[in-house]
Amino acid sequence: MSLQVEHGVSLKAYNSFGIDVSAAQFAQAHTDDEVCAAIAHAKAQQLPLMLLGGGSNLLLTADVQALVLRMSGRGIRILSDTLERVVVEAEAGEPWHPFVQWTLAEGLAGLENLSLIPGTVGAAPMQNIGAYGVEIKDLFVGLTALDRQTGEVAEFSLEDCQFGYRDSIFKRQAGRWVILRVRFALSRAAHLNLAYGPVKQRLSEQGIDTPTALDVSRAICAIRSEKLPDPAVLGNAGSFFKNPLVPADLVEHLRKQQPDLVAYPQACGQSKVAAGWLIERAGWKGFRQGDAGVHKLQALVLVNYGNATGTQLLDLAQRIQADIKQRFAIALEIEPNVV
């Protein structure tokens, strides 16, 4: 299959905010060869190359003067199976949640806490996605990526990826690496992470005393569905701000005025503050101006009620940042990539 390049393509259907901007050129890569062809085409056309996964961690603020390449390679395979350690590899274009459901259907535990997260497998390591006490790095074995600078294929170990909180070497070296496929170590014997209270509570309400990985996944899907809007119904990119890491003494100071401040001590000596709590306490939850707003049930989520532009959503985010900085002396960092 040769690379098919289109011109002046609307990206509305390719970003979860539903922002209607166009790409100067657009193509989908289903194979490694098509990725290489896209890189060569962009260079020949003197165009930047912008990679696109599921478009769920992206805020587009203007037309994109680039070749937008959507990673569309599909495929899942088991590389090794010793019961306690089953290595699974998935192509970058595999949608994340269906991939998690595939592993559970195969009787493999490990990724259940990451259920119902939007996006693709290839985009997951970029952000070191995480939820309910589990991050990608906890199950990660390795990945294969193409170096756009040299054209060579490289293999990355856990250490090579330099994972941090919603961070990785791929995010810090933006524009260099194209993730082609990712590998995870799962298990047929469940070692469940039930550290988060809402998950245990949901399972208890369902009368489940000895949950399976599938039970945990279903509970988390139910919780997320209640808290987070479906992008197919209401445009959004999930959590819009990172939970900030702040000095412990600042948390102690804030708790004198805000005894119910939600913050969690970290091994590094700092504390992770719940950004959603800060935004809700500042009165932004449910705020709406035109079609740009803050979700009525989850203050961490900015939403597009229909025809908001990326610029309007970014303006709202910056107003929230300025307000939180003034009220609490805490700087909020935007999680999605702003283009």
Written as six digits, the tokens of 45 are 């056309």
The residue-averaged pLDDT of 320-326 equals 98
Query: What per-residue confidence (pLDDT) applies to 195?
Result: 81
Distance in angstroms (rounded) separating the CA atoms of residues 281 and 284 = 8
What length is written for the chain?
Answer: 339
Q: Look at residues 91, 100, 89 and name the one whose alpha carbon lies nearest to residue 129.
A: 100
Angle between helices 213-227 and 197-205 (to 10 degrees): 110
CATH of domain 6-71: 3.30.43.10
Written as six digits, the tokens of 109 are 């535990």
Q: Does the annotation count 335 as an active-site position?
A: yes
Fold identical between 6-71 and 76-186? no
Domain locations along the chain: 6-71, 76-186, 235-338
294-313 residue pLDDT tens: 999 999 999 999 999 999 99
CATH of domain 235-338: 3.90.78.10
Say which of 34, 94, 112, 335 is annotated catalytic: 335
20-47 residue pLDDT tens: 999 999 999 999 999 999 999 999 999 9
The architecture of the domain spanning 76-186 is 2-Layer Sandwich (3.30)
Amino acid found at 12: K
How many beta carbons lie within 10 A of that of residue 316, not counting itself? Answer: 22
Query: What per-residue confidence (pLDDT) applies to 44?
Result: 95
Say which of 70, 148, 166, 281 is annotated catalytic: 166
- Per DSSP, helices labelled H in 45-161 are 96-105, 124-127, 158-161
Confidence of residue 174 (pLDDT cuts 50, 70, 90): confident
Say which of 168, 217, 239, 271 is annotated catalytic: 239
User: Measured at the alpha carbon of residue 206, what is the angle toward residues 202 and 210, in degrees to the nearest 5?
Assistant: 90
Q: Taking all residues of the chain, what is their mean pLDDT, rounded to a whole number?
A: 94
Higher pLDDT, 96 or 267: 96
